């Protein structure tokens, strides 16, 4: 039996569309146990598991796969990336780890389509990812301060396909300059611990204005949570979850946000998490 633990992720962080993502201490655990039965092929975990054997050009080892899930599906918290990374690592561990981490990341990106979710799921922490000419470049960004990361999760799902369908085909030069500047500012603020710059650095013009229209209460929640003391807020992944950053020691702000959400958006769930630095790993 092999157990793989994979963290949730929040990608498209602020202005870092398809580039910046971070791992959260919220997990799915995948259990792989050899079996004599025919193996199912109908889930993303199975697909990822089989991709390792296909890449190595060997027959797959039949396994029964069980999922112990904490990551909500279709909420912008990397549930599909967790399945992909879990399946790939499960197969690799079962075979004695013939594939290095770089190849696992490459296979995961092929399945996911882009690396901004799978990279932090695999590596942990805050990660910048760039794919070019068939190669994936990643850089873990050390975050100076420890924060409470609040996930404000609506009851309703939002599929990645629908969220991508509302994005414009062309953006203005001004929007590009806006996001480049904010992405640099956000990264510098997290590196240096200059919390006063986080709100400005988190502003986005590439996807939030368009995807926010699909989420009832989106702008109201973002504005209110900011006024209640959050350092910054952004859409998590493709949504509909909103991520709020709060100082580690600021329990008063956390409680104010919880009370506000319970009063104004009672069907939403509020989770309190931290940056997960280890990434996906075998635990048994």
Q: Which domain holds residue 241?
A: 147-273
Q: What's the distance, Cα to Cα, between the start and end of the chain in Å?
A: 7
Q: Are 198 and 186 in contact (CB under 8 A)?
A: yes
Instruction: Identify whether the C-beta of residue 1 lies closer than 8 Å to the C-beta of residue 277.
Output: no
pLDDT tens digit sequence for 99-119: 999 999 999 999 999 899 999
Are 30 and 110 members of one domain? yes
Separation CA 160–CA 141 (nearest Å):
26
Report how far residue 102's alpha carbon sits from residue 68's, in angstroms, rounded to the nearest whole number: 26
pLDDT in tens, 260-269: 999 999 999 9
- Quick one: 116 and 25 in the same domain? yes
For residue range 141-156, list pLDDT tens digits in order.
Answer: 999 999 999 999 999 9
Asked if 166 and 120 sit in the same domain, the reply is: no
| pLDDT for residue 40 | 64
Residue 41: the pLDDT is: 66
Does residue 247 share a domain with residue 225?
Answer: yes
pTM, entire model: 0.95
Give the distance from CA 142 to its chain's centroid: 17
The pLDDT > 90 percentage for the chain reads 94
**128 and 158 share one domain:** no
Query: For 62-102, what is each residue's pLDDT tens digit?
Result: 999 999 989 999 999 999 999 999 999 999 999 999 999 99
Based on the fold, state whether residues 35 and 126 are members of the same structural domain: yes
The encoded tokens of residue 142 equal 């050390």
Per-residue pLDDT tens for 161-193? 899 999 999 999 999 999 999 999 999 999 999
For the chain, what is the domain count? 2
Q: Report yes or no: 87 and 49 within 8 Å, Cβ to Cβ.
A: yes
Between 41 and 233, residue with greater pLDDT: 233
Query: What are the beta bridge partners of residue 6?
Result: 28
**Of 122, 97, 118, whose CA–CA distance to 109 is shortest?**
118
> Do 177 and 94 share a structural domain?
no
Q: What is the CATH number of the domain that holds 216?
A: 3.30.70.890
Whether residues 129 and 153 share a domain: the answer is: no
Q: What is the pLDDT of residue 245?
A: 98
48 shares its domain with 121: yes
Spell out the residues 6+ positions from residue 72 whose beta carbon is closer than 8 angstroms to its own.
79, 153, 241, 269
Same domain, 73 and 204: no
């Amino acid at each position: 039996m092999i157990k793989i633990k994979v963290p949730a992720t929040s990608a498209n962080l602020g202005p870092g569309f398809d580039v910046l993502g971070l791992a959260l201490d919220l997990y799915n655990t995948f259990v792989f146990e050899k079996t004599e039965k025919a193996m199912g092929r109908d889930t993303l975990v199975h697909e990822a598991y089989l991709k390792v054997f296909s890449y190595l050009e060997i027959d797959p080892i039949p396994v029964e796969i069980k999922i112990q899930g904490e990551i909500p599906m279709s909420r912008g918290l990397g549930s599909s990336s967790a399945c992909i990374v879990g399946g790939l690592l499960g197969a690799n561990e079962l075979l004695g780890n013939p594939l290095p981490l770089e190849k696992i990341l490459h296979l995961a990106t092929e399945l996911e389509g882009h690396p901004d979710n799978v990279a932090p799921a695999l590596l942990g922490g805050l990660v910048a990812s760039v794919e070019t000419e068939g190669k994936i470049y990643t850089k873990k960004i050390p975050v100076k301060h420890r924060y409470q990361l609040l996930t404000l999760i609506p009851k309703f799902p939002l599929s990645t396909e629908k969220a991508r369908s509302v994005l414009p085909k062309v953006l203005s030069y001004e929007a590009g300059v806006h996001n480049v500047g904010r992405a640099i500012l956000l990264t510098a603020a997290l590196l240096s611990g200059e919390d006063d710059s986080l709100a400005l650095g988190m502003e986005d013009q590439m996807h939030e204005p368009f995807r926010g229209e699909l989420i009832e209460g989106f702008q109201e929640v973002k504005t209110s949570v900011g006024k209640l003391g959050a350092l910054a807020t952004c859409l998590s992944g493709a949504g509909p979850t909103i991520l709020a950053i709060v100082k580690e020691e600021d329990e008063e702000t956390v409680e104010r946000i919880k009370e506000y959400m319970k009063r104004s958006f009672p069907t939403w769930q509020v989770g309190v998490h931290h940056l997960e630095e280890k990434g996906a790993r075998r635990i048994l």
